Structures are given as structure tokens and as C-alpha cells.
Structure 1
């Protein structure tokens, strides 16, 4: 990955690419939605398939010359079916949001009702935020987590569903650290004759490996990202029963996008094959174990964790109790200066702006990909706390940053 051809044509971009590789090598990627793909996935995504238009679906394209594009997409589909046990899979969405869009377009009309988790409680923009197309096209009501426990308030969800009478209930979240009871939400949907969309964008890999319960076969639709815990090519995916297949496919193309990004589909196919190997289950279990270690370390230092801990790959800390004068944005900036990259995040009962929230969110998928074990993750938790507890100390930030570089050099990304 020396980018020699790029450098010949465009040294400025080559310098930026080299800088980004160095940044990734020398920092800890702890944004919960980020991970590191293999060199095989990188090669697939940078392949000659970037040259090919392949509007339509395998065996039914609108252009000639798609025989190899068909082969790659069929491999991605069959591997996804094996990973998640779905009857029908569409691997063309460019992102998780476009996967959600396809589901909405397949069964809803403008003005129909969506019930979803409130953003500050762990939901996602594409589940109904007013800044997103969902909040502009549909009538949205939202449920919350229990303010005391931090767990989803399933009783409140059921009560809201009965009073609001939604056309679809959305589950699956972007900042919820606990196991989701898909059956409980499906029961709430059944009670009001609503569809159920389970968005597993963050936990696709954990579900595929069996370390988190699967909504496939429970919810009507399952969507996800393919580049987070699953470590495949960047994009989205839709899974559903065969009865919804034609409507979903039409909602993806031509309903929501034109030609698929076939190089990304190739990256998905390669990443899915890697996830089918026995060692992927061990990886996913280590992701969860490492998150538990991180949560325990931060908790021992007095940080308040939303829901008290984690069952999956992410930890959400609420700084208001331990560091009331510190915002998540300030903590994010100080940690970034110390080579630890995570994000400020809203928390239940948020009182600050989402641009400078009260919490920080950290994930362990990227660390685990690098080979960090429990002891290394415990040390990372100690380093995070050192910075959070003294964000104005240049000495602390420098010392932590130097130690992070040492840890990164001991766990290189790409040999």
C-alpha cells in the first residue's frame, strides 16, 4: 500500500493516503462504528470492479459485460445467507441508512407511522430524526430507555405502540450497550399489526458469530452495515423473508439508488467469506470480552456507564456524575490528542448539545482486530481515564500518547 500510482498522478492525495495509514497505525480506533478490514478486503474494494456499471440484479442487468459482477454479487448473497440464515438478501445498499430507506420504501407511504428509539437514548438518525428523510417523510414517535436502568423500556414501548398505532417499529441501535430482546419487540409489533425492522448495523458481526441473539426469522426485515463488527466491504445489507424480496429489491434499485458499487460488493463478498471461518467466532467473542474489561476498568475509576456496563462491543460513559464540568466533546478532543480516537456521544436525559454532549462512546472491535487481549484493553481503559481525569494536562496527554504509540507498534495493522 505504497500508493505508487497515485503518487505519480497526484502527490497531494498520495500524501493524504499515506498520512491516513500512519494515523491508523499509530492511533487506537475506538469509535464503535469503526474497524479495520483485511488487506484482502482492501484489494477487493480497490479492484477493477470500480469500472463496471451493473444496474439490476444477477442474471437481469441493464448492461452487457456483467458476468463477473454477477458472480461476485451471487457469492456475497450466498455467503450472507449462510452467515445470518436469511431467506433473501440484498447486498447492494451503499450504506446502512440506504438499507433502512429501502425497507421503508418497500412497505410505507409518506405520512405512515414509525415508532423508534429516541436518538439521545441510543437510536439512529435513519430511524426518524427530523434532520433525516425519515423525519421529513413519515410521522415519527419514539420510545426510550428506562432512566434508572439504562435498559430499553419494553413496557413503555408496548404502551406507546398501542397509543400511537405505528405502521412499523424499528429496533436495533447505534449507542445501546445491551442485548436486544427481538421477540419482545416483535410481540409489540404483532399486537398493533405493525412491521418490525431490526437494524443490526453495529452488531452484524456479533450476530453472525452467535454472540448476540439474531433477529433474522423474528423481525420482518433486518438491515445492517457491512463494515463494522463484520469487517467486510463498506456498505449496507437488507435481509427479509422471501415474501418481501421483490418489494425490497425494487426499493433498492431503482427505488433508492442506481448502479451498485460493485467494488464494495466484492469487499462484502471477501469479508463475508472471512467471517465464515471458525476463527471469526473467536474474534467476536473477544470483542465482547474486551468490551466487558473496558467497562469494568472505567467503572472502577468512578465513571458512570449507561446501563452500568455492556453486553456487546460498545461502552457508553456518562460524564455528568464524575466530571460535571467536562463535556464529551472536550474529552474526545483530549483523547484524540493522546492518540485514542473515540467520540463524544449523547446520553439518556441529555442536557447538552449533540455537538458537545455529556458522554463518550468507545468500542472494542478495532482493538480486537489488532490483537489486543484483556490485559492490553485494561491498560487502554486506564489510559482513557488518565486523560479524562486531567484533560488540561499537556504532560498527561503526551505521556498517554507515547504509550499508545508503543501499544500500536506492538499490534501493527498491516505488516
Structure 2
């Protein structure tokens, strides 16, 4: 079945679902996601995810027999990040976290964690730990490693966890490792949405220092929704056992194939260029916010993340909903500090998806100004309408995945111009499944 025939047939067979697909087209084209966990899947990855690999799966017996797909994905991940051992059969980052706890900790152990990260993944009686938090200092909005060292000496944690999902600066991983060693603790770093920058060499890597490194494979890597655990050879057997003990005995071939290609793409020059542009865009976004009179936390960003400080008394749920009405998808959060009585209401804004959509510095600075002016306005209906018009002008000719980030010259479907009124098959191909006509010709043959 040819691609056009498939979409026409879907419209005739299931108009209800096809109508929802059309709605999704409009939503994605005319909104801009600044969510850290939102990004388009690469066409190669999405094609493999939707390919006939999805008709089969592997269980642990096949893996023990050195199943080729998983081995390729493991080897590519380990090589990309310079790790001894990679585990790629994890469904998501929450599952990866539970594997790490199962392997390294026992009930009641002390966990010293940045903003108590990973506590949210501890579900069940066997994952009950004493979480101790370290955070930014309210005076300078930085992590003070001397304070972390004092906490580690006093509390003797089993694991020190650092996950910079809401910290826009680099940290000294070597010093953090020294702190962990002195306390007799494992060091676990979840690099989160910085995984792409680390892979491309655009951000410091914790791999030489951490006992365990975890990260999601969507978001910054343009891969399928999955997760990876990296560790050194001394912990490899224990971590592999924990994978099976936590129920990860089956994995889909299509996900493994998509992951393998994702890691190959992440080693390309095109991907490095993408990561370099992400940083430029984050800095431009921050400048635009400053132009509009909005302060950002932690000084100038060093990664994809910008923390926009909101006025005191802002109701996070309300401002997020108001931005959504204007076409901006944003994440509201409360930034903790080492003073438990003092927190900061912020928007966690990421340059990942806008960069994928081909926005550059000028456009991102304009986005920052629009966001800042909207915050300053209080978000009334007229301000929403103004922001929506400004956003549509910025997104007028922008695709959902720019072909400049592809390592090969692929014949993608066209970009989404203002005259494209019926483009469901295009967004499905480019943003969600990215099924190319080659796939359907494969079925025809």
C-alpha cells in the first residue's frame, strides 16, 4: 500500500481518529514547545520504530544468545559515551532509576540527592530510602560543593545522585566523585536532557567519574522513548542482574533498532551542529527574557535550559494554562534552595524543540521577549491574543524537524507552509512516525 493510499484509507475507515490527527497537526504546527522533555523524533528513528521490527520482541533467553540488535545498540551507546557497559532495554527513565536502586541500595539507605531527585521513582516497600537534599544556595543560585561535601561526611549516604534537570550550569564531576569516594558512596549522575550535548562533546561528561550514568533517549537525542544505563565493568554484572530482577525480560526489536540508529546519528557532525545551535538558542532565549525585564536564575545558561523567574505569588498552574492558550507549551516548577523556607517560582524553558524546528538566535530572542512581555502583562486575554499572533509569525514557515540536522540527504515531506491546509500525513511522517514512502514500497515488494 502506497503512503497516500494509506492516509486516504484511514480517513475513510476511521474518520474519528483521522479528525483527531488533523487536530494534532494544527496544534503542533501553530504551537511552540519549550518543554525540556519534548522534542521531535529523527526520521530514521521514527521509521524504524514503525517498521516491521515492531512485529517481534526479544526475551532474556535471546539476549543471552547474543542477539545482534541489542548488541549493536549496546556497543554503539558505550562507544558514543565512552562507557565500559551500556544497558539499552529500559522502557523509560523511571524504570532505569528503579534498576539502579535495586542494584546499589537496600531499604533504609541514605540517598544524598540534588533536590531529592529520584525520590519520585521510588515506588513500593522495597524502594524506601532516607533522602537528604542538596540544592542551590539562595545567595548566588549555585550549587556549593563544599556544602555537599559536609552533608556527605555527616550523613554517609549509600548513593549521591546528581540530576541537572533544573540546573542550567555545568558541575565539577571530578570533585563530586572525590566527595562520593570520601563518603564511601556510589556516584550516580542522570544527565537527563543534557544527554545529546554530552554525546556530541558540547558539555562535560560524567562518565569518567560516575559509577552509573542514566539518561532518556528521546528529548535531546531525537530517539524513541526509552532510557539507557551506563556503568563501569565492575558493576556490569550486578546491574544486568537488577535489570532482569525488575522485570525487564522483554524488549521490542523496533525500539532496539531505533536506538542503535539514534546513537549512530548522535556521533555525526550534523548532530554536533544541532547541539551547538541549542546552546546559542538557549542564550538568545535568555537574552530576550532579560530584554523584557524578566530575571533568570543561576546566571547565564550553559546548556539547553533557561529558568525564568516568575513574580512572587504566581500560581504556576494558571500561568502554564495561559501560555498554552497563547500557543506556548511551558513547564512551571518550584526551584528549591538550601534554605528550605526559600523557593523560587520558575518556568523551565528548553531550546531543544525550537532548535529542531530550525529557529535560530534572532527568532529565539524574539520568543524570549514575547514570553517576558506576556509574564509582565499578567496573561489577560488581550495579551494572549497578542502573543499568539507574534508566535504564529515566528513559526510561519518552520518545519517540525529541520532537514539541516540530518546526517544524510533524506527526501522528507515538505515543510509546513501557511498554505498547507491538509497536512496530516506530513506531520505524521515528520513528527510522529516519519514513515517514508520507502517503507510502503517495502511492503509492496
Q: TM-score, length-normalised on structure 2?
A: 0.83
Choose from 175, 179, 183 the match for 1:192.
183
Cα drift, residue 139 of structure 1: 1.9
Match of residue 302 from structure 2: 311
Q: Following the alignment from structure 1 to structure 2, what is the Cα–Cα distance between the partners of residues 199 and 219?
A: 10
Match of residue 293 from structure 1: 284
Cα drift, residue 297 of structure 1: 1.9
Cα drift, residue 102 of structure 1: 1.3
Q: Is the 8 A contact 2:49 2:255 kept in 1?
A: yes
Q: Map of 1:215-234 to 2, 5 A cutoff?
A: 215-234=206-225
Distance 1:374 1:46, change over 3 A: same
> Can you give the 5+ residue segments of structure 1 that lack an aligned partner in the other structure?
62-66
Q: Map of 1:146-165 to 2, 5 A cutoff?
A: 146-165=137-156
Match of residue 417 from structure 2: none
By relative contact order (CA 8 Å, sep 6+), the higher-ranking structure is: 2
Larger radius of gyration between Structure 1 and Structure 2: 2
Match of residue 86 from structure 2: 89
- How many residue pairs get matched? 396
Distance 1:58 1:303, change over 3 A: farther
Q: Is the 8 A contact 1:297 1:381 kept in 2?
A: yes
Match of residue 99 from structure 2: 102
Cα drift, residue 57 of structure 1: 6.8
RMSD of aligned Cα (Å): 2.5
Cα drift, residue 247 of structure 1: 1.4
The yes-or-no answer on 1:73 pairing with 2:79 is no
Bigger mean CA offset, 136-145 vs 359-368: 136-145
SS of aligned partner of 1:202: helix
SS of aligned partner of 1:280: helix
SS of aligned partner of 2:168: coil
Cα drift, residue 134 of structure 1: 9.2
Q: Map of 1:258-337 to 2, 5 A cutoff?
A: 258-319=249-310, 323-337=311-325
Match of residue 347 from structure 1: 335
Q: Map of 1:2-401 to 2, 5 A cutoff?
A: 4=7, 7=11, 10-56=14-60, 59-60=63-64, 70-119=67-116, 124=117, 127-129=118-120, 132=123, 137-319=128-310, 323-349=311-337, 358-401=345-388
Q: Is the 8 A contact 1:331 1:360 kept in 2?
A: no
Cα drift, residue 261 of structure 1: 3.4
Q: Is the 8 A contact 1:31 1:341 kept in 2?
A: yes
Q: Is the 8 A contact 1:36 1:231 kept in 2?
A: yes
Q: Is the 8 A contact 1:334 1:387 kept in 2?
A: no
> Can you give the 5+ residue segments of structure 2 that lack an aligned partner in the other structure?
402-413, 415-445
Distance 1:171 1:131, change over 3 A: closer
Distance 1:324 1:95, change over 3 A: same
Distance 1:87 1:26, change over 3 A: same
Q: TM-score, length-normalised on structure 1?
A: 0.88
Distance 1:76 1:25, change over 3 A: farther
Q: Following the alignment from structure 2 to structure 1, what is the Cα–Cα distance between the partners of residues 367 and 125?
A: 38
Bigger mean CA offset, 323-332 vs 218-227: 323-332
Q: Is the 8 A contact 1:115 1:161 kept in 2?
A: yes
Bigger mean CA offset, 362-371 vs 393-402: 393-402
